[in-house]
Amino acid sequence: MPAPTSNPSPAPAPVPAPSPNAPSPNATPTDELVTATLDQLDDTFRCRSCQHGITAGRFAIEVDGAHAHTFRNPVGWSFRLGCFAEAPGAAVSGTATYEHTWFPGYAWRFAHCGACGNHLGWWFVGGADAFAGLVLTRLM
């Protein structure tokens, strides 16, 4: 199809310039950047079921003095959890509860793969602090 010549395209809309000094209490530029680039990072942890990017090694944190923790749940399953400050590729579900929590003072919700829904671990929230505890054997 020939390009229309009698109807020139309008001028491109001006792109709003980022205003780093503007107050933006809800802005999470780092999160947005991570979501956009998680697939390009070289230290991405992926869902073992579907390879969806979940988090990255650069978000690994220590909680109670260690990144990885081994826990056993009330029905006897043992989990090796890695703690991450961010898990942009995970979806969180369920009501936060302190029941059987592995981190005193932190309530937990379920963390799933944002693509296939596989259960990957838990999202822990304690006051203003929050982190993901992900089952390392379910990531790759």
Cβ count near 30 (within 10 Å): 10
The answer to whether 140 contacts Zn ion (rule: CB under 5 A) is no
Two tokens, residue 68: 């990885």
Minimum CB distance to Zn ion smaller for 101 or for 118: 118
Please report how close the Cβ of residue 63 comes to Zn ion at its closest, in angstroms: 24
Number of residues that bind Zn ion (CB under 5 A): 8
27, 61, 66, 116: which one binds Zn ion (CB under 5 A): 116
The answer to whether 66 contacts Zn ion (rule: CB under 5 A) is no
The answer to whether 49 contacts Zn ion (rule: CB under 5 A) is yes
Distances (CA, A) of 91 to 19, 31, 42, 73, 132: 30, 14, 22, 21, 11
Please report how close the Cβ of residue 140 comes to Zn ion at its closest, in angstroms: 10
91, 115, 125, 130: which one binds Zn ion (CB under 5 A): 115
Cβ count near 87 (within 10 Å): 26
Distances (CA, A) of 85 to 62, 74, 122: 9, 26, 12
Residues of the shown chain interacting with Zn ion in the complex, contacts defined by CB under 5 A: 47, 49-50, 52, 113, 115-116, 118
